[in-house]
Amino acid sequence: MAGIAALLLAAGGVAYAAFGAGDGVFYTGPATEIAETGGLSFILADSNIGPCLEVRSDQGMAGGCGGDFDELLTISVGSIGKAAFATGYGPPGTARIEMTFPNGEVVAVTSFATLEEYDVMFFMATLPPTSDNEPLLPVQTVALDPEGNTLATVSRVVGPDTP
């Protein structure tokens, strides 16, 4: 876990001017920064097809629109330039997110942000880049309460060719 940063802002964040999301998707209100670390901003914005969760930096952006918040736990990983990251949300009461990667490394997140209109705990963490600047996908992500009890788990099958 050395070198892993996870710094999140308090509820409300910083409002940004919305801009067109492209591909027939357009923002219907201002974007809100819910987390920032290592030159990356985790953004939530409403659009014509549902909420957009994005990561932005001065080198570009990554993300998607149209999801909802009915899953207990979500995790997305990506990179912009040489900055690799994980973002997502867990259920209310989450005190810790643990992401286990194929190489056995565990990245833990203990800082979360909330927004009044959503009943989830948002998180963002920087990840160590791989040699090709592509982040590894976690094989398991677990949301834990303050006592260490599991609130939700997301797992994926890993085969011999899985990164």
- Residue 21 contacts residue 52 (beta carbons within 8 Å): yes
Q: Three-class SS string for 5-18?
A: CCCECCCCCEEECC
Predicted TM-score (pTM) of the model is 0.76
Burial letters 118-132, b for 16+ CB under 10 A, else e: eebbbbbbbbebeee
Q: Please report the pLDDT score of residue 161 as a whole number.
A: 55
**Which pLDDT value is given to residue 96?**
97
- Per-residue confidence in pLDDT tens, the chain, 163 aa: 222 222 222 223 333 333 444 567 788 888 889 988 888 899 888 888 888 888 998 888 888 887 778 888 988 888 888 788 899 999 999 999 999 988 888 999 999 999 888 899 999 998 876 666 666 788 999 999 999 999 999 998 665 555 5
For the chain, domain boundaries? 14-155
The closest of 73, 67, 71, 66 to 123, measured between CA atoms, is 73
